Amino acid sequence: MGKFYITTPIYYPSANLHIGHAYTTVAADALARFHRLRGDDTWFLTGTDEHGQKMEQAARAAGKEPLEFVDGIVAGIRELWRVLDITYDDFIRTTEPRHQKVIGDIFTRLWQKGDIYLGRYEGWYCTGCEAYYTETQAKDIGYHCPDHDKPLERVGEDAYFFRLSAYAGRLREHIERNPEFVQPPSRRQEMLSFIDQGLEDLCVSRSSFRWGIPVPFAPGHVVYVWIDALCNYISALGYPDGERYRRYWPADVHLVGKEILRFHTIIWPIILMALGEPLPRRVFGHGWLVLESGKMSKTRGNVVDPLVLVERYGLDAVRYFLLREIPFGADGYYSEEALVRRTNSDLANDLGNLVHRSLSMLKRFAGGRVPAPARREPVDDEIPALAGEVVESFASSMEDLQISTALAEVWRLVGRLNKYIDEAAPWALRRAGDERVNTVLYQMAEGIRLLSVLLKPVLVRSAPLMWESVGAPRPFTEVTWEDTRWGLLPPGSPVKVGEPLFPRRELGGALVTTPHAAGPEDKPGAGPAREAATARPAGQAEAGKVEQDRGIRVAEAGEGEEGLVSIDAFRRLDLRVARVTGAERVPGADRLLRLRIDLGGEEREIVAGIAEHYRPEEVVGRSVVVITNLQPARIRGIESRGMLLAAQEGGRLVLVTTDGDIPAGARVT
């Protein structure tokens, strides 16, 4: 157990934040939550960077005073963090007195030491970037800022300067001696070369605008951007003598976008050196989310609003996508299609199915209580072994800030558990009266419990539901890293089968309704099912109610705007070849046959409305096609778990069968 202090950049409240800002903050949140889970004394700081000419101009354009203007946007930012469930411990605003006081003191101190001196600045300035361009840079871009599409201004004024140049040698040495300091490692050389080009002293005050922290000893000057902004990381802790400062400084990670990595690995450490304070352990510059249409910017009107995405796809999907899709450190394309793809494949298919099928088997085969493990086979031991391995590598990737890799590790276990269920076939074990079924069921439940602990930092809505679904004992809020040990779930824990955690989504957020996700009650008065052209499920002869319960609605709900069924909706149907092993008439129902079918290791009963067309002995031994993943329906007191396909024309009905020999259980696609 140690301490962990993590920060995000403080964001400019000149406009509402977009998905790019959410990316940094969600990543910092996941890391903070991970360290709390580890038992580290964790402090997570975020905030807003509220001064400067740009802000003054934005306020003026909105017809407001600067503070009044930023207050409104800051409220929106806090609301965004609430929706994204960001667990920051402190939110610093650079307009707060606690910050202003520290900045005034730091500025005076550096001046008294001789690290800040009065000079004159002249240069090419972009008010959008709040940055001067050197003569060469300005010439290269034709004296016109490409990011803000406005001409650079020639600015000259008296200004204070910070002696960066005096510290270049010490900084270089620090970066060389501390390979962890600049992250990812690929950016280290870039920073060293930057130092080697020669550091110029930095202009740290301005007298051409008012919206800033006054320089205490120089009326008319305000502290200019980087000293004000960077020192938030210590002012918020109560530098120089606050209890929190002693407890948490130096920072363990400053998480920033790559475009401001340089300020954090050059200017910031030099400020700290000049103050005689320890340097942060790591500064991590992550890549950008870019759109097919280029960089996200308000002027281009292509910003993606995270609130809309959460509304459409749910919080966990958005958090998971951001953290999993792009290797942390690299740039990556953002698109809503990619979000939907990722959500459906990893969350709905892999994790969601694992949870749902496990819970329903625990319910059906073990009466809804986690059984005690019994007879084992060597393959059963592979699961705890893999879980141990995954826990280790997940932790070390998270320590190394490789969040996407850490999640990929977790999905190794998800994938293995799904395969384990397919191979161990608990339904067959149960039928054979093999007590190993209890071992397999126990491991399925324990797998879900353990996954919920690992996913606690990321899937903040569904991890607690997973934990509760297998009846794990303590409240989820009390979960610690100790809970990643395999085998802690007590046999006898009650299982709760709820709604699927991750329904499949269409682009735009509509649900791809599954038989589990929507019953008729979701759509009162839904009309009758459309007749499919040639093949239609047979066996609904008895009741329209049964029709609705059993899958016709799958197609209905998956219909696109033109009445077409989406490929996703179709793929949700699990169509299988089944061998009919027994058939008999249902007493009192002229049209129904009760069939026993073999699905390649699993036996089921279904009730089909084919008795007017087939005698029982005619169907036994035939290969038929069955939809296997419908909700079971009770027909004449018999539980029917599946539906036959048959083709119908006029008064004729024939079974859909296969052209050639193929084993029972084969998938029909």
**Catalytic machinery residues:** 18, 21, 126, 129, 145, 148, 295, 298
Which residue type occupies 631? Answer: Q
Query: Binding to ligand MSP by residue 224, rule CB under 6 A?
Result: no
Query: Binding to ligand MSP by residue 145, rule CB under 6 A?
Result: no
Query: Binding to ligand MSP by residue 10, rule CB under 6 A?
Result: yes
Residue with tokens 């200004």: 159
Choose, by CB under 6 A, the member of 4, 5, 6, 21 that binds ligand MSP: 21
Query: Binding to ligand MSP by residue 230, rule CB under 6 A?
Result: yes
Binding segment (CB under 6 A) for ligand MSP, from list 108-116, 254-262, 376-384, 482-490:
254-262
Closest contact distance (angstroms) between CB of 256 and ligand MSP is 5
Choose, by CB under 6 A, the member of 84, 203, 213, 260 that binds ligand MSP: 260
Alpha carbons 605 and 171: distance in angstroms, whole number: 74
Closest contact distance (angstroms) between CB of 310 and ligand MSP is 17
**DSSP letters spanning 250-269:** SPSEEEEEGGGHHIIIIIHH
Our CA dihedral for 367, 373, 374, 379, rounded to 10 degrees, sits at 120
Query: Binding to ligand MSP by residue 199, rule CB under 6 A?
Result: no
Residue nearest to ligand MSP (CB): 20
Closest contact distance (angstroms) between CB of 51 and ligand MSP is 10
The token pair that represents 198 in the structure block: 């020669």
CA distances, 141 to each of 135, 438, 496 (Å): 10, 70, 63
502-505: long-range contacts, CB 8 A cutoff, minimum separation 24 = 502/314, 502/316, 502/317, 502/343, 502/347, 502/348, 502/351, 502/352, 502/462, 503/348, 503/352, 504/343, 504/344, 504/348, 504/349, 504/568, 504/572, 505/312, 505/313, 505/317, 505/340, 505/343, 505/344, 505/348
- Taking CB under 6 A as the criterion, which residues in 531-560 touch ligand MSP? none
The token pair that represents 249 in the structure block: 């400084």
Closest contact distance (angstroms) between CB of 23 and ligand MSP is 5
* Cβ nearer to ligand MSP, comparing 14 with 418: 14
What's the per-residue H, E or C state across 374-386?
CCCCHHHHHHHHH
- Whether 29 contacts 297, CB under 8 Å: no
Query: Binding to ligand MSP by residue 47, rule CB under 6 A?
Result: no
Q: Which residues pair with 649 in a beta bridge?
A: 652
Binding residues for ligand MSP, rule CB under 6 A, total 17
Binding segment (CB under 6 A) for ligand MSP, from list 201-209, 255-263, 322-330, 610-618:
255-263
Alpha carbons 19 and 335: distance in angstroms, whole number: 11
Query: Binding to ligand MSP by residue 215, rule CB under 6 A?
Result: no
Closest contact distance (angstroms) between CB of 54 and ligand MSP is 10
Query: Binding to ligand MSP by residue 49, rule CB under 6 A?
Result: yes
Closest contact distance (angstroms) between CB of 629 and ligand MSP is 39
Query: Binding to ligand MSP by residue 249, rule CB under 6 A?
Result: no
Binding segment (CB under 6 A) for ligand MSP, from list 256-264, 306-314, 546-554, 628-636:
256-264
Choose, by CB under 6 A, the member of 4, 6, 20, 346 that binds ligand MSP: 20
Choose, by CB under 6 A, the member of 257, 368, 384, 616 that binds ligand MSP: 257
Burial class (CB in 10 A: 0-12, 13-18, 19+), 236: buried
Say how many residues make up the chain: 669
Closest contact distance (angstroms) between CB of 227 and ligand MSP is 10
* Cβ nearer to ligand MSP, comparing 23 with 502: 23
- Taking CB under 6 A as the criterion, which residues in 76-95 touch ligand MSP? none
Contacts of 605 (CB under 8 A, 6+ apart): 594, 595, 596, 597, 638, 639, 640, 641
Residue with tokens 């759109």: 291
Alpha carbons 582 and 615: distance in angstroms, whole number: 12
Closest contact distance (angstroms) between CB of 578 and ligand MSP is 50
Query: Binding to ligand MSP by residue 24, rule CB under 6 A?
Result: yes
Query: Binding to ligand MSP by residue 12, rule CB under 6 A?
Result: yes
* Cβ nearer to ligand MSP, comparing 16 with 207: 16
Which residue type occupies 594? Answer: R
Alpha carbons 171 and 184: distance in angstroms, whole number: 18
Choose, by CB under 6 A, the member of 5, 23, 69, 320 that binds ligand MSP: 23
Contacts of 645 (CB under 8 A, 6+ apart): 535, 536, 537, 538, 575, 624, 625, 626, 627, 655, 656
Of 669, 432, 450, 438, which Cα lies nearest the Cα of 573?
669
- Whether 517 contacts 499, CB under 8 Å: yes
Alpha carbons 390 and 271: distance in angstroms, whole number: 41
Binding segment (CB under 6 A) for ligand MSP, from list 3-11, 313-321, 460-468, 596-604:
3-11
Choose, by CB under 6 A, the member of 45, 237, 267, 289 that binds ligand MSP: 289
Contacts of 201 (CB under 8 A, 6+ apart): 119, 161, 162, 163, 164, 165
Choose, by CB under 6 A, the member of 4, 5, 248, 288 that binds ligand MSP: 288
Binding segment (CB under 6 A) for ligand MSP, from list 17-25, 310-318, 407-415, 481-489:
17-25
Backbone φ and ψ for 162, nearest 5 degrees, come out as -105, 135
Closest contact distance (angstroms) between CB of 190 and ligand MSP is 16
Binding segment (CB under 6 A) for ligand MSP, from list 21-29, 165-173, 362-370, 398-406:
21-29
Query: Binding to ligand MSP by residue 160, rule CB under 6 A?
Result: no
Binding segment (CB under 6 A) for ligand MSP, from list 10-18, 31-39, 151-159, 535-543:
10-18
* Cβ nearer to ligand MSP, comparing 238 with 257: 257
Of 109, 162, 102, which Cα lies nearest the Cα of 276?
109
Closest contact distance (angstroms) between CB of 263 and ligand MSP is 7
Query: Binding to ligand MSP by residue 401, rule CB under 6 A?
Result: no
Alpha carbons 634 and 645: distance in angstroms, whole number: 19
Query: Binding to ligand MSP by residue 9, rule CB under 6 A?
Result: yes
Binding segment (CB under 6 A) for ligand MSP, from list 4-12, 269-277, 337-345, 374-382:
4-12
Closest contact distance (angstroms) between CB of 10 and ligand MSP is 5
Alpha carbons 116 and 105: distance in angstroms, whole number: 13
Residues that bind ligand MSP (CB under 6 A): 9-12, 20-21, 23-24, 49, 229-230, 256-257, 260, 288-289, 296
